[in-house]
Amino acid sequence: MSHILINILAGWAGLALFMTVLWRFAMARDNAGWVDFGWGLSLVLLLAWYSLVAGGEPWRRLFYLVLASTWGLRLSWHMFQRLRSDRNEDPRYRLLREHWGESARWKFYFFFQAQGLANVFLSLPVYLLMSNRREDFSFFDLAGALVVAAAVLGESLADRQLRQWKADPSSQGRTCRKGLWAVSRHPNYFFEWVHWLAYPVLGLSLLGTTLAAWWPLTLLGPVLMLLFLIRFTGIPYTEKRALASRGEDYRKYQREVSAFFPWFPKSEPQS
């Protein structure tokens, strides 16, 4: 158990260094939005470390690394493209910068570090899976891989639909209701959460092994992400910004479309 703790702490130390470098880069550009790019990439780097030091079957370590990296690298690439095409700081972080005033620079440092620490906790289920010594490829491995594929495809589709909507000059001042955005106000967040559901499914391959009792740890990812997205860093800030920019159009969207889980839209009664 001590060597596992050492591996996790070493990974955390590496993330702290990575996020420090990224913070300096972001502050030099007056754009804290780079933390979103670093969040996905730092998770991939941490899992790459785990794949080297975890005690499970080598093919399993590589398998789980590829699954998680597919999601993490897609997210980082998406954020990189956004940051490259729009140098303006995300309004969420601009609000924080204004709120924090002169202390914003150092408070952003701790914000960056908090993102790295969050990844340490979110990565624990994957470390557990990478420690699995089961040799055969189970049905649960296949099912989990399919969940990851669905999450990546769904999030990619939601991002593409939103980009196409924003590129249309006639959509200015209106809320996107195209495709997935007609059944969820935040389909990108929803599929981001679906990705973390893959790990409890993959964790069922632990049944019959000495690690079976640790399966509940695989629930850490979906539970934490649901809290982050619905209560803290995701939906609340995004919707506050949308209300400020689109007003009544977005309030109508809130009344008619599910906030997170895709569902049939409501129709408002005609007055």
Task: Please give the tally of structural domains in the chain.
Answer: 2
Task: Specify whether the CB–CB gap between 260 and 271 falls below 8 A.
Answer: no
Both 209 and 126 in a single domain? no
257 band by pLDDT with thresholds 50, 70 and 90: very high
121 domain residue, yes or no? yes
Domain holding 153, by residue range, is: 134-263
Q: Where are the alpha helices (DSSP H) in 54-90?
A: 58-85
Residues 107-153: pLDDT tens digits?
A: 999 999 999 999 999 999 999 999 999 999 999 999 999 999 999 99
Both 195 and 102 in a single domain? no
**pLDDT score recorded for residue 201:** 97
160 domain residue, yes or no? yes
Residues 6+ apart with CB under 8 A from 229: 186, 189, 192, 193, 235, 260
Both 84 and 71 in a single domain? yes
Helices (H) and strands (E) in the chain, counts: 9, 0
Which of 67, 97, 132 is a domain's end point? 132
269 domain residue, yes or no? no
**pLDDT score recorded for residue 1:** 62
110 domain residue, yes or no? yes
**pLDDT score recorded for residue 145:** 96
Residues 153-206: pLDDT tens digits?
A: 999 999 999 999 988 888 888 899 999 999 999 999 999 999 999 999 999 999
**pLDDT score recorded for residue 85:** 83
Residues 36-87: pLDDT tens digits?
A: 999 999 999 999 999 999 989 999 999 999 999 998 999 899 899 989 888 7
Which of 107, 132, 157 is a domain's end point? 132
**pLDDT score recorded for residue 168:** 87
270 domain residue, yes or no? no
169 domain residue, yes or no? yes
268 domain residue, yes or no? no
- In this model, does residue 95 exceed pLDDT 60? yes
Both 9 and 122 in a single domain? yes
- In this model, does residue 214 exceed pLDDT 60? yes
Residues 6+ apart with CB under 8 A from 5: none
Tokens for 165, please give them: 């909507």
If we measure between CA atoms, which residue out of 112, 1, 2, 124 comes closest to residue 64?
124
* Pairwise CA distance, residues 236 & 31, whole Å: 21
Both 74 and 147 in a single domain? no
If we measure between CA atoms, which residue out of 35, 1, 29 comes closest to residue 15?
35
Both 123 and 138 in a single domain? no
Report if pTM > 0.85.
yes
Tokens for 124, please give them: 């624990």
Tokens for 84, please give them: 């490259």
Both 112 and 191 in a single domain? no
**pLDDT score recorded for residue 268:** 60
Which of 117, 132, 147 is a domain's end point? 132
**pLDDT score recorded for residue 225:** 92
Both 39 and 147 in a single domain? no
Run of H or E including 198: helix 187-203
246 domain residue, yes or no? yes
